[in-house]
């Protein structure tokens, strides 16, 4: 194959997906415990999403966002209805990084300030603005200079956060649980402290729930479990049931001066129909509750005595497993020898981020596969 050059290819070609499974051209089955970067939150090719997309693509594939349209309006309403607090001003775009770019721009225009406070080990995307708020040098260094004005604080340190957030701060940008950075849940009280620091200085509090949102942690939004409502919340990954769509949900005061922002593809009818169907599936199938239940089962088995695992972190179906050696070696064996696909989160963490439709039996399969893969790596 020629043409692609960014991704190192894996020696598995996937040609079909159904629910929690992916299949290669020979029909070999893989259990997708990474949900393809969390995108397949309601499973692959969910019939309700497929049917919503099929009927919309025939009726109207695209119309620009300045012409109101039933599919887009339907998604606006649905997102406003499920948003935490009063974050009912919805901006639609195509990817997580764009949702964060918008959040940062809106925060700057609403506050008239420019400084952004973000966390070490945080991940917010790879475009110039979101990348500037992303910690890891590996992602940043080759592309510098990035957008300016970002100050990093150690994640979980309330005092450092209170000290960094000042009257020149436009935004505090945090993940309620750091995903890519190793699956680090915010310590008790940290998000509340961020809320207070933002309130004291007039900064906008932005929660990046691109990985933690849409039921993954056992509640629709991770911030709800902690009783903290931000001024802006970003959502992407699983939102479109496999199609590229993302949302920036804002309180009125943040959305007020957002007019000069825009995007050609904002809320196209097909992706809007897909996202509306996805949100319906999440509610109809009670998937946040399933994530809580199966997540609990999975985590208690991971913590059990059978597996030589150092630490397990996470909530619901966002789980990081410290394997104490190269995560990639374990992931490779999981995929090639046991038909289980998962993700890394840094060098030594295997990240389990399955579709929220998984059952306990799938979790058990992964436990067995992980035990075997760990033994193979040690052998
Ligand atoms: C994946 C992710 C992003 C970036 O989303 P893209 O769609 O890849 O741009 C941003 N923030 C978090 C927390 C993510 O997990």
What is d(CA 229, CA 29) in angstroms, rounded to the nearest whole number?
Answer: 41
Q: Note the pLDDT of residue 135.
A: 98
Domain segments of the chain: what residues? 14-45+286-378, 47-284
* pTM (global) more than 0.75: yes
Residues 6+ apart with CB under 8 A from 345: 179, 180, 181, 182, 183, 320, 327, 351
Catalytic pick among 123, 207, 225, 231: 123
The encoded tokens of residue 296 equal 């609990």
Q: Regarding the domain delimited by 14-45+286-378, which CATH topology (the fold level of the hierarchy) does it fall under? A: 3.90.1150
Q: Note the pLDDT of residue 11.
A: 84
Instruction: Find out whether the beta carbon of 211 lies less than 6 Å from any atom of ligand 1.
Output: yes
Q: How far is the CA of 210 from the centre of ligand 1 (A)?
A: 6
Q: Note the pLDDT of residue 10.
A: 77
What is d(CA 60, CA 29) in angstroms, rounded to the nearest whole number?
Answer: 35
Residues 6+ apart with CB under 8 A from 340: 30, 31, 33, 334, 365, 366, 369, 370, 373
Instruction: Find out whether the beta carbon of 124 lies less than 6 Å from any atom of ligand 1.
Output: yes
Protein residue whose Cα sits closest to atom 10 of ligand 1: 124
Q: Which portions of the chain are predicted below pLDDT 50?
A: none
Task: Give the residue from 233, 189, 227, 193 showing the smallest Cα distance to 211.
Answer: 233
In DSSP terms, 243 is beta-bridged to 241
Q: Is-contact 191 223, C-beta < 8 A?
A: yes
Q: Regarding the domain delimited by 47-284, which CATH topology (the fold level of the hierarchy) does it fall under? A: 3.40.640
3-state secondary structure of 324: coil
Q: Note the pLDDT of residue 2.
A: 62
3-state secondary structure of 135: coil
Protein residue whose Cα sits closest to atom 15 of ligand 1: 211
Q: Note the pLDDT of residue 1.
A: 52
């Amino acid at each position: 194959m020629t043409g692609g050059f960014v991704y190192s290819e894996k020696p598995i070609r996937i040609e079909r997906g159904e629910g929690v499974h992916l299949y290669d051209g020979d029909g070999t089955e893989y259990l997708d415990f990474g949900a393809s970067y969390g995108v397949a939150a309601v499973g692959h090719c969910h019939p309700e999403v497929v049917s919503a997309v099929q009927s919309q693509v025939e009726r109207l594939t695209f119309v620009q966002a300045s012409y109101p349209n039933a599919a887009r309006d339907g998604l606006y309403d649905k997102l406003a209805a499920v948003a935490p607090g009063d974050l009912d001003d919805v901006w639609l775009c195509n990817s997580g990084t764009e949702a964060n770019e918008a959040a940062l721009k809106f925060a700057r225009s609403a506050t008239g300030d420019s400084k952004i406070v973000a966390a070490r080990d945080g991940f917010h995307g790879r475009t110039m603005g979101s990348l500037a708020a992303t910690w890891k040098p590996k992602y940043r260094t080759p592309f510098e200079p990035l957008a300016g004005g970002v100050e990093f604080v150690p994640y979980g340190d309330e005092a450092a956060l209170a000290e960094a957030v000042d009257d020149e701060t436009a935004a505090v940008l945090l993940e309620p649980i750091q995903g890519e950075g190793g699956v680090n849940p915010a310590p008790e009280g940290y998000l509340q402290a961020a809320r207070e620091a933002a309130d004291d200085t007039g900064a906008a509090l932005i929660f990046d729930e691109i990985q933690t949102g849409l039921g993954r942690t056992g509640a629709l939004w991770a911030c709800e479990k902690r009783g903290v409502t931000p001024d802006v919340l970003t959502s992407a990954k699983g939102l479109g049931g496999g199609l590229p769509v993302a949302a920036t949900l804002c309180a009125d005061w943040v959305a007020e001066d957002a007019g000069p922002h825009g995007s050609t593809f904002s809320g196209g009818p097909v992706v809007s129909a897909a996202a509306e169907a996805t949100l319906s599936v999440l509610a109809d199938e009670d998937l946040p509750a399933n994530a809580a239940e199966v997540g609990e089962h999975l985590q208690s088995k991971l913590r059990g005595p059978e597996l030589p695992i150092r630490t397990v972190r996470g909530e619901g179906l966002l789980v990081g497993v410290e394997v104490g050696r190269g995560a990639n070696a374990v992931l490779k064996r999981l995929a090639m020898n046991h038909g289980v696909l998962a993700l890394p989160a840094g060098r030594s963490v295997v990240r389990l981020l399955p579709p929220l439709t998984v059952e306990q039996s799938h979790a058990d399969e992964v436990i067995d596969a992980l035990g075997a893969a760990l033994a193979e790596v040690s052998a």
